Amino acid sequence: MAELPPVDQVSFQDIAHLSYLKVVSLVPDILPKHGPLMIWANNLFNTPSFHLLIEVVLAVLVLRLLFAPKYNPAKQRERLTKKEEEELLAEWVPEPLTPKVVAGNDGDGTVPVVEGVVGTHVTVAGKDYVNLASLNFLSLSGNGDLNKSAVKCIQKYGVGACGPRGFYGTIDVHVQLEERLAEFLRTEEAIIYSYGFSTIASAIPAYSKRADVLFVDEGISFATQRGVVASRSVVRRFKHNDMDDLERLLLEQQMQDTRDPSKAAVSRRFIVVEGLYANHGDICPLKQLVALKWKYKVRLIVEESMSFGVLGKTGRGVTEHCGVATKDVDIIAASMSNALGSIGGFCAGSTFVMDHQRLSGQGYCFSASLPPMLAAAAVTALDLIDRSPKLVASVQQNGALFHGALAAALAGCTTFRLEGDAKSPLLHVKLARSTDSLDEDRALLGRVEQAARADGVMLCRARYIHDEELYGAQPSIRLAVGADHSAAELKSAAATIGKACKAVKA
């Protein structure tokens, strides 16, 4: 018989093994020595001790979870007396539905009510003002030819279509306008929407879905932002009009796609920009954008509400202005409420791309179609632009003249600065340096607006929903020049604005 090891050298494993042998010797002969029970007992006594300990702890936890008393909030919560409930109700103050209105701030109720046609001049409360607030770039609002077309259309079709385009809301004048827009922009097809805002807000999510990637200029306007949010895509923003920053993001995405080709094969990439930025008044570098589009194999969406009818020799927008073929842009979207003097919006591009929106564009599918009279007015406006090239030339000349006059009037002003392209009829006056208080910034701009109005010039502070803006638009006074403004009016208005800005100190 082998000698037993010293007591101080006996391990737990040895004791367990000896116990196992003792148990086996006591098992009656009727119990099979190699049956399932014996196999299990053998495995149990040969299992490492730490493994057994873990299994015991897990078993205890499972039993505790199974048999622990259920949590009942009603039993745990102390019931209040009637008096305590009444005291709490008396102390409760509901939150306001809207934020507190600050005098001179946005939404303070001092909205000017125009009496009559909105043209280069407007009448408010019986007083005449030079109008630099309306986006009536080609001065077609109230145009006699447009009025005649609208009246004639009302006599034939009535006022509204009372149905979406897919449900007996399509009238022949809608089809005529779409054909005319496609012809004007030299694209295969165009599709019209009832509202300018919903056009780009519907077009982006019609194509870009979850897991797709949007490369977005941080200077885009609110309508474009809503389309970006509605798409639920991955958003990668680049600095405003900074093509180096955009290429950096595109290169990073390309490297990421290389690492995960299976995901890259089923997701799409889009660049989203504006032709003429509503929040800045400057023009996108479209040639560089198109070059990056082809280099990195992405799609390009251009929102042209401010550039359509304004830029380019014949008013065909930023593509004509930059010498880029419209076929190089996948989607062109724009509002018809600015240059065309009507209402609604449109998208233009290839037939394959446009037809997809007729089933996927929410603003197209679920809104009553554009009133026929407004479609007829838009067709007439396009005809006028083609017949009268001086309309586009006039607004471009006036924009350059006003930019130069206002820049000179603001020379030496340390509180405000001018922002916008010299060729743009849309400009912004912004604070040279923020006060770090949004209310104070807007109040300073409001004082300029009121001073200019007192001298007969109607201005408009740009309104932003700051709590919902994706990229924090800076407060400003937005200035819009029309084709029918005279040179004398624009020079005088520039001098008035410059005087008002210099009189206001931060």
Instruction: Identify the burial level of 240 via C-beta atoms within 10 angstroms of its C-beta, where 0-12 means exposed, 13-18 middle and 19 or more buried.
Output: middle
Strand order in the sheet with 121-124: 121-124, 127-131, 457-458
List b or e across 38-70, with b for residues whose CB sees 16 or more CB atoms inside 10 angstroms.
eeeeeeebeeeeeeeeeeeeeeeeeeeeeeeee
What confidence category does residue 506 fall into, taking pLDDT thresholds of 50, 70 and 90?
low
d(CA 459, CA 452): 7
DSSP codes, 37-59: HHHHHHHHHHS-HHHHHHHHHHH
Q: Which two tokens stand for residue 353?
A: 């791309």
- Residue 1 is predicted with a pLDDT of 47
Closest C-alpha among 89, 72, 71 to residue 80 = 89
Q: Which two tokens stand for residue 1?
A: 């018989």
The average pLDDT across 67-95 equals: 79
Worst-scoring range by mean pLDDT, 73-82, 141-150, 369-378, 466-475?
73-82
Worst-scoring range by mean pLDDT, 32-36, 466-470, 478-482?
32-36
Higher-confidence residue of 69 and 368: namely 368
pLDDT tens for each residue of 236-273:
999 999 999 999 999 999 999 999 888 888 889 999 99
Q: What is the mean pLDDT of the chain?
A: 87
d(CA 309, CA 428): 20
What confidence category does residue 107 fall into, taking pLDDT thresholds of 50, 70 and 90?
very low
Contact 152, 354 (CB under 8 A): no
pLDDT tens for each residue of 172-181:
999 999 999 9
pLDDT tens for each residue of 432-461:
998 888 889 999 999 999 999 999 999 988
Q: Which residues pair with 276 in a beta bridge?
A: 283
Strand order in the sheet with 269-274: 189-193, 345-349, 331-335, 299-303, 269-274, 213-217, 234-238
Rounded to 5°, the CA angle 447-449-450 comes to 65
pTM greater than 0.85: no
What confidence category does residue 204 fall into, taking pLDDT thresholds of 50, 70 and 90?
very high
What confidence category does residue 152 fall into, taking pLDDT thresholds of 50, 70 and 90?
very high
Higher-confidence residue of 160 and 149: namely 149
Is the pLDDT at 347 greater than 90? The verdict is: yes
